[in-house]
Amino acid sequence: MLSRRAFLRSIALATAAAPVGVLAVTLEADAQTWVPPANRSPVPLRNAPPPPRWEARPPVRPGLVWVPGYWTWSARSLRYVWVEGSWQRSRPGMRYVGAQWVLRGSEWVFIPGRWVRW
């Protein structure tokens, strides 16, 4: 169960993000997970994202997959923002491909993390 503080924080963040459709929040019993919406269009940028932050990988949890953190672009603050890694429920016959930034021509495009079939 989420602590009261974590719950209120997630509600505040969801309320702030909802009007611009940047992030969708999924609350689970023991984890807070950020999931980019599937219909989000890529945001091309000229400046490269910072290198990934080092995150301590938590111990394995049965039935869950660790999704590493990534940089996303905040249109609100006009800067890159780090999204911390989180646990996601595993999906039979699928594997998770992490979010990434790809250089296309002279612009950086964000490709959200996603589940793909084996």
17 lies in some domain? yes
77 lies in some domain? yes
31 lies in some domain? yes
103 lies in some domain? yes
Q: Which domain holds residue 20?
A: 4-38+62-117
49 lies in some domain? no
56 lies in some domain? no
Q: Name the least confident of 33-37, 48-52, 80-84, 92-96.
A: 33-37
Please check whether residue 27 is in contact with residue 2, taking contact to mean a CB–CB distance below 8 angstroms. yes
- Total of domains in the chain: 1
Beta carbons within 8 Å of 114's beta carbon, 6+ residues apart: 96, 97
> How would you classify residue 106: left for phi > 0, otherwise alpha for psi between -120 and 50, otherwise beta?
alpha
Round the average pLDDT of the chain to a whole number and report it: 76
pLDDT band at residue 22 under the 50/70/90 scheme: very low
**How high is the pLDDT of residue 96?**
96
pLDDT at 77 over 60: yes
51 lies in some domain? no
106 lies in some domain? yes
pLDDT at 75 over 80: yes
